[in-house]
Amino acid sequence: MSSAVVEASADLSEIIEARADEAEQARRLPPSTVKALVDADLMRMCLPAAYGGPEVDPVSMVEAIANVAHADGAAGWCSMIASTTSSMAAFLPEEGAAEIYSDPSTVTGGVFAPNGQGRATESHGVGGLEVSGRWAWGSGTQHCAWVLGGAMCDDGTFRLCWFPQGEVHFIDTWHTGGMRGSGSLDYSVEGAFAPFRRTIQPGVTAPVVDNTLSHFPNFTLLAAGVAAVGLGVGRRALDELNDIAQGKQPQFSSKTLAQSSFTQIEFARAEATLRSARAFLLDELATAWADAEAGCGVTIEQRVAIRLAATNAAAAGAVAADAAYTLAGGTAVYDASLLGRCMRDAHVVTQHIQTAPKLNEKIGKLLLGLDDDVSMF
């Protein structure tokens, strides 16, 4: 396992936390936070070593993202999106990968959804696609040098395309309750040219860099990353409550919150929920990764188990944040308290398509031996 990024993520907690309010107000990460994350390799954790990246394993990625999210959920979210996006570099033609990722400060991000329309064309003798489209949930794209977008092409294929930021139009749609600092606004391109060297066909294109991570399913990796944000936010909420409970004495009570039997019971339950969810996710990831390293691949059963663990972890983060908010009483409603932000951020995690509660229906169906579509697993 790669301890360097995990240690780096813990070391950055004070820097990230100090700018969290600024991110919340600006509705995007401040440049100083982005620079700190970039310098610590926390925006490209899954970039192949062949291109100068740290190429970390999924367990280390989850632990690092959770640490960043503990300091600020929005920063953890952006680290997650950028790092999982960087894993796709393994599938790019070498020329395209060098163009995009040769600069070690490069951050990439974007949206997989096929909201673009691509038409095969040429520009200066170079084959590629002319793409137009608009994508929602462009987390952290304003600090990306290259922005991805999925496109359905006129030949019936689906491609992911990388666009330089200068060709991307950002649309100010990110006015939200949670993850305000993630800058997850809409973006669009109009008639942008994407050379084929800067496109891939997910599920079709063979990896150019044939490393273990390129054989670890991308949606599985993404789900684990999203869940990691929830774990970090939930952990922060319980830590904040612990601090409050030591000194707060509710009205009409002679005891502190920490001395209240109700607080003790509910705090213990929330701790058990969060810790067990974390252990479940890390255990499933470690088992699948060991098999992938041994060349056995990641089975459908393992992908289902990881998705179950990730969905459970996202829910556990929200349970922990809700419990902390409720137990803190009136203290939690003030902007000065982080518990409101933790609660709002945790519930954005549970809304993500890769970890939403409705996935339990599909997961349960597969666990019961019934057939279902697993293309998003």
Burial (CB count within 10 angstroms: exposed 0-12, middle 13-18, buried 19+), residue 142: buried
Provide the whole-model pTM.
0.97
β pairing state of 146-153 and 108-123:
parallel
- Looking at residue 206, what DSSP letter applies? P
Report residue 57 as tokens.
């394993």
Residue 96 has pLDDT above 80, yes or no: yes
Distance of alpha carbon 3 from alpha carbon 41, whole angstroms: 12
> What is the average per-residue pLDDT within 266-274?
98
Question: Chain-wide mean pLDDT for the chain?
Answer: 96
- pLDDT the model gives residue 252: 84
Query: Domain map of the chain by residue range?
Result: 3-91, 107-200, 216-367
Report residue 182 as tokens.
């993630």
Could you give the dihedral angle defined by the CA atoms of residues 291, 296, 298 and 302, in that order, rounded to the nearest 10 degrees?
-60
Distance of alpha carbon 191 from alpha carbon 322, whole angstroms: 45
Residue 1 has pLDDT above 70, yes or no: no
Residue 266 has pLDDT above 80, yes or no: yes
For the domain spanning 107-200, the CATH number is 2.40.110.10
Residue 157 has pLDDT above 90, yes or no: yes
> What is the average per-residue pLDDT within 293-316?
97
pLDDT digits (tens, 9 = 90+) for 20-70: 999 999 999 999 999 999 999 999 999 999 999 999 999 999 999 999 999
How confident is residue 136, by pLDDT bands cut at 50, 70 and 90? very high
Residue 339 has pLDDT above 80, yes or no: yes
pLDDT digits (tens, 9 = 90+) for 348-363: 999 999 999 999 999 9
Any idea which of 100-114, 219-233, 240-254 has the lowest mean pLDDT? Answer: 240-254
- CATH topology match: 107-200 vs 216-367: no
Which residue bears the tokens 């399913």?
A: 217
The residues near 102 (Cβ < 8 Å, ≥ 6 apart) are 51, 52
pLDDT digits (tens, 9 = 90+) for 168-182: 999 999 999 999 999
- Helix then strand count (H, E) for the chain reads 12, 7
> What is the average per-residue pLDDT within 62-85?
98
> Taking the CA of residue 44 as centre, how many other CA atoms within 13 Å lie in the half-sphere pointing to its CB?
29
pLDDT digits (tens, 9 = 90+) for 209-230: 999 999 999 999 999 999 999 9
Residue 365 has pLDDT above 70, yes or no: yes
How confident is residue 376, by pLDDT bands cut at 50, 70 and 90? confident
How confident is residue 108, by pLDDT bands cut at 50, 70 and 90? very high
- pLDDT the model gives residue 250: 86
Distance of alpha carbon 124 from alpha carbon 333, whole angstroms: 59
The H-assigned helical ranges of the chain are 3-11, 13-18, 20-26, 31-39, 58-71, 73-86, 94-101, 218-247, 261-293, 300-328, 339-349, 359-367
CB 343 within 8 A of CB 321: yes
> What is the average per-residue pLDDT within 289-306?
96
What percent of the chain clears pLDDT 90, i.e. is strictly above it? Answer: 95
Fold of the domain spanning 216-367? Butyryl-CoA Dehydrogenase, subunit A; domain 3 (1.20.140)
Residue 313 has pLDDT above 80, yes or no: yes
> What is the average per-residue pLDDT within 73-77?
98
> What is the average per-residue pLDDT within 83-94?
98
Selected from 3.40.50.2300, 1.10.540.10, 3.60.15.10, 1.10.300.10, the CATH number assigned to the domain covering 3-91 reads 1.10.540.10
Residue 15 has pLDDT above 90, yes or no: yes
